[in-house]
């Protein structure tokens, strides 16, 4: 069985994030995706392979063309994780605001 990569390995790279943004709006072929970047097509192919291994995109053959789509369910998992982190930081900032208000009142 092939081990999947962590999706956060994929989204850390700006080119892969840009590919995900492109696929969020429509299905695209590898050639159409590559045409949006000023890098060699094999470089984009490697990025696509990583996105696929991270289970963030899927391919579907339509005739002779292979189209790539964003896997929304996996993106929702990332969004949920970010939401949890955001809640933690909002709590910390609220606690800091409260502490600063208390300190300012004592002055």
In the chain, how many domains are there?
2
The CATH number of the domain where 18 resides is what?
1.10.10.10
Q: Are 68 and 48 in contact, with CB atoms under 8 Å apart?
A: yes
Residues 6 and 48 in one domain: yes
Q: What is the pLDDT of residue 27?
A: 96
Q: Which residues, in sequence order, are bridge partners of residue 58?
A: 69
Residues 64 and 78 in one domain: no
Q: What is the pLDDT of residue 70?
A: 95
Residues 49 and 82 in one domain: no
Residues 59 and 94 in one domain: no
Contacts of 56 (CB under 8 A, 6+ apart): 7, 10, 11, 20, 70, 71, 74, 75
Q: What is the pLDDT of residue 2?
A: 57
Pick left, alpha or beta for residue 55 (phi over 0 → left; psi -120 to 50 → alpha; otherwise beta).
left
Residues (pLDDT < 70) of the chain are 1-4
Q: What is the pLDDT of residue 4?
A: 65
Residues 59 and 81 in one domain: no
Q: Answer yes or no: pTM beyond 0.85.
A: no
Residues 82 and 48 in one domain: no
Q: What is the pLDDT of residue 9?
A: 81
Q: What is the pLDDT of residue 5?
A: 78
Enclosing domain of residue 91: 72-107
Residues 76 and 43 in one domain: no
Residues 78 and 65 in one domain: no
Q: What is the pLDDT of residue 51?
A: 95
């Amino acid at each position: 069985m092939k081990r999947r990569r962590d999706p956060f390995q994929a989204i850390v790279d700006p080119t892969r994030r840009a590919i995900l943004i492109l696929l969020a709006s429509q299905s695209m072929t590898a050639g159409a995706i590559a045409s949006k970047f000023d890098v060699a097509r094999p470089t984009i192919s490697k990025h696509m392979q990583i996105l696929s291994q991270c289970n963030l995109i899927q391919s579907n053959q339509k005739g002779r063309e292979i189209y790539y789509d964003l896997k929304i369910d996996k993106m929702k998992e990332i969004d949920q994780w970010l939401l949890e982190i955001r809640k933690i930081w909002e709590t910390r900032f609220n606690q800091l605001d409260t502490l600063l208000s208390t300190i300012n009142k004592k002055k």
